[in-house]
Amino acid sequence: MLEIKENFIMLEKVFNEIVKELNTKLNITPVLYGSFGLGRALEKNLDPKDIDLLVPKKYLEEKWSVFKQVVELMGFRLKDLREHEFERRGVSIGFSYEEDLMPFAGVGFDDLKVVSELDAHFKVLSLEDYLACYEKSSKDGYRKETRMKNDQEKISLIKQKVNE
């Protein structure tokens, strides 16, 4: 249990650091996503393995070299170009397009709540938004094959919390 808590604390520190850097160097307010974001929304440590952030598509395409440089100057190395995934001392951060939220799960990234913590500004999904995303992703071929049980557990946790 102590190892899980230490991992979460480390992810929190890295999350805050990367968000501050994106805010100040690139004027990006990223969207917190994935298990790390869901755990924060549920107020429950889901033992996330990485940090997932959504950023404007232009930074992962036409402004990729500038984006990559900012992240690498923080000591991260590119781990997977296709997934826009970086790694530093065992911590992985993956980036994807915020614009994909609407066509994927009907979630408007412009309507998300902006949160400020320790001078870091980021957008968060509501539990209903996470439910839409996880229900949609559980139908996806890759996730259905590899993470179905895990996704179903998360869907159950979200529904339980929404009904409290």
Is the pLDDT confidence value at 144 over 60? no
Is the pLDDT confidence value at 160 over 70? yes
143 pLDDT tier (thresholds 50, 70, 90): very low
Residue type, 112: L
For 2-125, CATH gives 3.30.460.40
- 71-113 confidence digits (pLDDT tens): 999 999 999 999 999 999 999 999 999 999 999 999 998 899 9
Q: How far apart are CA 105 and CA 76, in angstroms?
A: 30
Asked if 131 and 155 touch (Cβ cutoff 8 Å), the reply is yes
1-10, 47-56, 59-68, 72-81: range with lowest mean pLDDT: 1-10
Residue 139's pLDDT is what? 75
Q: Which tokens sit at 122?
A: 């980021």
In the chain, what are the domain boundaries? 2-125
Residue 55's pLDDT is what? 98
